[in-house]
Amino acid sequence: MEFSAKQIAELLQGQIEGDENAKISKLSKIEEGEPGSISFLANPKYNHFLYTTKASLVIVNKDLVLTGPVSTTLLRVESADQAFGKILEMYNQVKLNKSGISKLSFISESAKVGNNIYAGEFSFVGENVKIGNNVKIYPQVYIGDNSVIGDNTTLFSGVKIYSETLIGKDCIIHSGTVIGSDGFRFAPQEGHNQKIAQIGNVLIEDDVEIGANCAIDRATLGSTIIRKGVKMDNLIHIAHNVEVGENSFLAACVVIAGSTKIGKNCMFSGQVGIVGHLQIADNTVIGAQGGVSKSITKPGEIQLGSPSFDINKYRKSYVHFRNLDNIVQRVDKLEKQIELEKKEN
């Protein structure tokens, strides 16, 4: 699609400096700008690229002061960062605006399908599934029996949804993610580990985004629950009967063991591990590679380390840890001095 600089200015309520008829058909970084592209400048570290970029249109802050001539057309707005974010969102919507049901897809006769859905090649929709309006099901997605997919939800290629899974509205689930596989429960017996049937399900509320290659296990009984607004990075494992509270953020490689309850607005950095059957209070922050072995009951606590503990205590302890070799050498020297004094006496 092609737009003029004037059309974009009207959309973003900005002021044009230059050619209002400049044609825009693609996006670019300012340092990689080329004719026909639109870019933005928000970080002063990149100011010098404004005078060399070949982009046809650059979004800048209203208060930017030029220090030389520019060949590109400028679009001045209150916040270049936010304005370009709006452009990115529009571009993404156009790019992902797929519709229609492929002849190579399979939808069970007992399934109920909403309006304006997209079902790509080799996608599968099982018995008694309910699919809302404007749902996008990319190629090779599997949706098991009795599952529910809410309005405006997108399932990218290769997502596997086991039976009885409930997914809310406006969710995004990226490729390779598996939702509803069995929880890891076995009863050790002599010569044999007896598998415990997992007959619960997974409930994902509205406005949840789940990255690529994540695994969310079904509950033994009841539900594994991902509350509304949760955002999950790639390669995350959520075990059976876990509950993740509203608007929490989980970075890559987070692992949460069975039956742990996570509060609202929590933030877990990469490779955080949390053992099972814990309670984690609202607004908890765990730093990268943190290992949580005890419940956190005080809201807003920040922890680091493995096992994790209060960040201020961790930082003080880390100073001592870094000096540990010097401390050992000093102790060795003192012990030798004491032994020498004993011999002299």
Residue 345 has pLDDT above 80, yes or no: no
Determine the pLDDT at residue 322: 86
**Three-state secondary-structure class, residue 72:** coil
The verdict on 269 and 290 lying in the same domain is yes
Could you read off the pLDDT of 107-116 as tens digits, one per residue?
A: 999 999 999 9
The verdict on 289 and 305 lying in the same domain is yes
Mean pLDDT value across residues 78-91:
93
Mean pLDDT value across residues 179-185:
96
Task: Residue 294: give the domain boundaries.
Answer: 101-313
Mean pLDDT value across residues 229-246:
98
The verdict on 39 and 68 lying in the same domain is yes
Any idea of the CA torsion for 268, 269, 274, 277, to the nearest 10 degrees? 10
Residue among 20, 22, 24 at smallest CA distance from 1: 24
The verdict on 84 and 151 lying in the same domain is no
With beta carbons less than 8 A apart as the criterion, state whether 169 and 153 touch. Answer: yes
Residue 184 has pLDDT above 90, yes or no: yes
Determine the pLDDT at residue 146: 98
Query: Domain ends where: 63, 95, 127?
Result: 95
Residue 276 has pLDDT above 90, yes or no: yes
Range in 115-119, 160-164, 183-187, 211-215 with the lowest mean pLDDT:
183-187
Number of domains the chain contains: 3
Determine the pLDDT at residue 23: 96
Q: Could you tell me the CATH number of the domain that includes residue 161?
A: 2.160.10.10
Averaged pLDDT score across all residues of the chain: 95
Q: Which residues are catalytic?
A: 240
Mean pLDDT value across residues 145-158:
98
Q: What sign results for the dihedral spanned by CA atoms 97, 99, 103, 109?
A: positive
Determine the pLDDT at residue 1: 76
Provide the β-strand partners of residue 156.
none
Phi-psi region of 60 (alpha: psi -120 to 50; beta: other; left: phi over 0): beta
Q: What sign results for the dihedral spanned by CA atoms 141, 136, 25, 74?
A: negative
Provide the b/e sequence for 51-89 (b: ≥16 CB within 10 Å).
eebebbbbbbbeebeeeeebebbbbbbeebeebbeebee
The verdict on 130 and 279 lying in the same domain is yes
The predicted model scores a pTM of 0.85
The verdict on 55 and 167 lying in the same domain is no
Q: How many CB atoms within 10 Å of residue 152?
A: 19
Q: What sign results for the dihedral spanned by CA atoms 189, 194, 199, 204?
A: positive
